[in-house]
Amino acid sequence: MHPLLEDKPGKKILVLGNEAITRAAIEAGVTVAATYPGTPSSEIGNTLHKIAKEAGMYFEFSTNEKVAFETAAAAAVAGVRAFSFMKHVGLNVAADAFMTLAYTGVRGGFVILTADDPGCHSSQNEQDNRYFAKMSGVPMVEPSSPEEARKMMHYAYEISEKFEEPVLFRTTTRMNHVRGVIELGEIRPPSERVHFEKDPGRFVTIPSNARKRHLVLLDLIPRMRDEAEVSPFNRVVVPEKMNTTGDIRLGLITSGVSFNYVMEVLNNIDLGVQVRVLKLGMTAPLPEDLISEFCLENDLVLTIEEGEAYLEEFTKTILKERNIPTQVLGKRDGHFPIPNEYNPDIVLKGITSALDSIGRKVDVPETEKVDWDGSIPEPPRPPVLCPGCPHRGTYFALKRATKGKAVYPTDIGCYTLGIMPPQSVGDVLICMGSSAGSAGGLSRVVDEPVIAFMGDSTFFHTGIPPLVNAVHNGHDFVLNIMDNSTTAMTGHQPHPGLPIDGLGDPAIAISIEKVCKGLGVQFVKTVNPLNIKETQKAFEEAMAFKGTSVVITKSPCALLLDRNLRKAGKKRVKYTVDQEKCRKCDVCTKTFACPAFYKIGDDHYIDPDQCFSCGVCEQVCPFGAMGPIPEGGE
Amino acid sequence: MNVILCGVGGNGVVLTTRIIAEAALRDGIKVRVGEVHGLAMRGGTVVSHLRLGSDAKGVLVPLRKADILLAFEPLEALRQMRFLKRGAKVILNNQTYVGVDAHLGLSKYPEVCDILEKIEAAQDIVDVPASRLAIESGSVIMTNVVMLGCLSASKELPISRDSLIDAIKSRVPPLMIDSNIKAFELGEKAFQDWEKNVVCQA
């Protein structure tokens, strides 16, 4: 049995933040869960993919976040507990549904997890989704540790059912990817089938109903605020090493992972002032009285939060409204940064800077300094396409076809790494599915051919509407759908093009080629990108075609292929360089640049531990020096 | 106690951190780990922060607070120096991984001896041929287990050898247990050899 399914309340286990949340969903009796994979939330889906069926939960990888949201929301409207989770930008995709569901509310508990990514570890922006709670009016919670996340999931379902509203569960990368200990709770079984109680006046949002429901929501907000005032997750914390003699009372308002950094700083350094911390776990609606009282009890208050000045702006507004004179400092005063993630050093710097501004010097003990002068340059190590990656073959063949003269809108997936040299393809990227839309616009104004890239999972996510648009409006560009038969970047989740579903059951695989033809694309060709000549020819034909054309480069992800071969106990043929034939022309390293290639002096070699045996190097070398290691050789 | 593990995608940094954390839990030690996922698997820099006992608070180790660095690659070790206390234990696999950038001539990989010399000036460094020893015990995949053996023998961690071995066993396929134990022991021996060497030199 999977450790997250064990019915042993009280047992302590070490888990990833995302696993703590998954376990809590099982404990809470979630009956329907749906997602589209996105880091830093991906491991929740990966884990449910393995265990949902055994837990009696319905789970799916939906085509995109909006569909995932609608699937789960409908189950909650019907009256069972539901869960939808996504990365922060995924909530943009689901926002249309999210904003209006706040009006109708739900009958079973519904939690929507948004995994924000301060620092852009694996995202195209670092938007602060706490504003989605404010904009929609739904309540929000923010955990600081795996065990708190587990408890908070239960609480989120309780308040969701109490107010019949969805609850936003906001995490950040360091919450999702922290590993810590949780104590298993009791498991509530998922619901049986329910009878749908019709209530169109509430759930059908025609304007006359929407107007009424907006009033219902506005009436609810003060009640939800009352909940925040007494929520067990909103509390004042006195640091272990409290300075009781300081003449200034300093209050720190914080939430999420910033709380941990604050406590770490307070544990290590005596600020010379009395300090109390208001730790907020329920952060929408914000507790006005609690915050006001906390500020009244302190001489100076700092708001410490990653991202935007969400707590700060609210605190300053409330204090102004209530004529409370306590000074509040934060980002708006330049003491704390908006971009990037925090750490204890940034938090300490912000606190000392704020205290300094009111004339208090903090005596920061001179920590043991290391003589680290950075005198040796540390060249960065950007991520690259893996050895054997079919995308490398695609790009190599494509560049031979375009001779470097083309504009390349790209999209979100491993293939985005094509922007790195020597491939250097990728000129415009906004968001999931945007390449085909961007290509349409570019094809109307630029003087070179336009070639757009899109992955298979991205195609199903948001790639189909722009392709329909291109065909109908007669946009002249090539869409290269890079089908590696998985959602590779986020950890190999299945998608609608594969014969398996979220529960691991057999499913109807949808053919990308047939979809394209069905949409009216007049030129559709599927090729194997590990065959350079064939791929180059397909691109040349597609570029010569007037109108929207599609080239599907289809070859499985090298990591997946390697894993399957290893499972099957099969060995792969490795490739090597015949030193007698090699003319040291550098074409292989300079234009193909497989990470398995290396050089000693001018001599080229292939690292057998890294070679994935794709065989493309054999086609790349102009002198036939690269090829499979002969049997019994080396 | 604060431990930083670093390397290149594919080195097994995340798995190794997890093994140490699970061993700590077996020994009843408070533990918290911060990992970086996502793009990291494509040959990029990978770092994880492991915090034990009373330091198990936030996920990130503050600057100059790390007691141990377990580095799977020399250049990556260099990148983490600002996190180390003076005299921190650095256990380093001396196998370099030169990225595509350097092959293309876009950047230059520093000389390994320069890196070692620099680290040695401020830290207590143990460099081991972990990748080579892993190949000796069956596969380069077990480089991380060699490193764990070395770390265990250094007695820097408050975690028992038995718990580390148990944690490794629970993470590898049954058929691979023997070769993993061998890799662990080679790591232990590498540390002891290194210690002897140092004594001789002194």
Judge whether residue B199 has pLDDT over 70.
no
Contacts of A567 in chain B (CB under 8 A): none
Q: Which of B103, B141, B163, B176 to mutate to test the interface with A (most CBs of A within 10 A)?
A: B103
Q: What is the pLDDT of residue A358?
A: 95
Instruction: Give the position of tokens 């390994």.
Output: B112
Q: What is the C-alpha separation between B25 and B11, in angstroms, rounded?
A: 23
What is the value of ipTM here, to two decimals?
A: 0.91
Contact A383 B42 (CB under 8 A): yes
A587-611 exposure pattern, b = at least 16 Cβ within 10 A, e = fewer: ebbeebbbbbbbeeeeebebeeebb
Q: Please give the pLDDT value at position A371.
A: 58
Binned at pLDDT 50, 70 and 90, residue B200 comes out as: low
User: In a 3-state reduction of DSSP, which class is residue A422?
Assistant: coil
Class of domain A390-564: alpha beta
Domain with CATH 3.40.50.970 in chain A: 3-230, 390-564
Q: Does A364 touch chain B (CB under 8 A)?
A: no
* Beta carbons of B37 and A40 less than 8 Å apart: yes
**pLDDT recorded at residue A368:** 52
- Ranges of residues in chain A with a pLDDT under 70 are 366-372, 632-634
**CATH 3.40.50.920 spans which residues of chain A?**
234-357
Cross-chain Cβ contact A386/B65 below 8 Å: no
The residue with tokens 């207590």 is B124
Which pTM does this prediction carry? Answer: 0.96
CATH of A571-628, one of 3.30.70.20, 3.40.50.720, 3.40.1110.10, 3.40.630.30: 3.30.70.20
Using the Cβ of B53 and the Cβ atoms of chain A, whether some distance falls under 8 Å is answered with no
Orientation angle between helical segments A532-544 and A390-402, nearest 10 degrees: 50
Cis peptide before B110 (omega within 30 of 0): no
| Chain B contacts in chain A segment 113-142 (CB below 8 A) | 121-122
Say what the pLDDT of residue B42 is.
65
**Res A412: pLDDT:** 97
State which residue of chain A sits closest to B18, comparing Cα positions. A179
Distance CA A82, CA A75 (A): 6
User: Which class is domain B2-201?
Assistant: alpha beta
A 341-360 → B contacts, CB under 8 A: 343-345, 348
Domain ranges of chain B: 2-201
* CATH fit for domain A3-230, picks 2.40.420.20, 3.40.50.970, 3.40.50.2020, 3.40.50.720: 3.40.50.970
pLDDT given at position A241: 77
B113 close to A (CB below 8 A): no
- Is residue A264 less than 8 Å (CB to CB) from chain B? yes
Q: How far apart, in Å, are the Cα atoms of A268 and each of A186, A273, B51, B55, B173?
A: 37, 14, 15, 10, 42
Q: Number of CB pairs < 8 Å for A and B?
A: 167
Q: What is the pLDDT of residues B54-99, one digit of tens each?
A: 888 788 898 889 999 999 999 999 999 989 998 899 999 999 988 8
State the span(s) of chain A assigned CATH 3.30.70.20.
571-628
Task: Assign domain A234-357 one CATH number from 3.40.50.300, 3.40.50.920, 3.40.50.150, 3.40.50.10490.
Answer: 3.40.50.920
> Which of A52, A73, A72 has the alpha carbon at shortest distance from A190?
A52
The pLDDT of residue A245 is 80
Q: Going along A463-593, which residue ranges are E strands? A: 478-483, 523-527, 549-554, 575-577
pLDDT of residue A381: 84
Which pLDDT score, from 0 to 100, does residue B44 have?
83
* Strands, E assignment, A48-154: 58-61, 82-87, 110-116, 140-141
User: A454 and chain B: CB distance < 8 Å anywhere?
Assistant: no
In B, which residues are within 8 Å of A14 by CB distance? 21-22, 25, 31
Q: Give B37's pLDDT tier (boundaries 50, 70, 90).
A: low
Structure tokens at A476: 């002249």
| Host H or E run for residue A169 | strand A167-172
Closest residue, chain B, to A260 (C-alpha): B58
Place of tokens 């060249």: A379
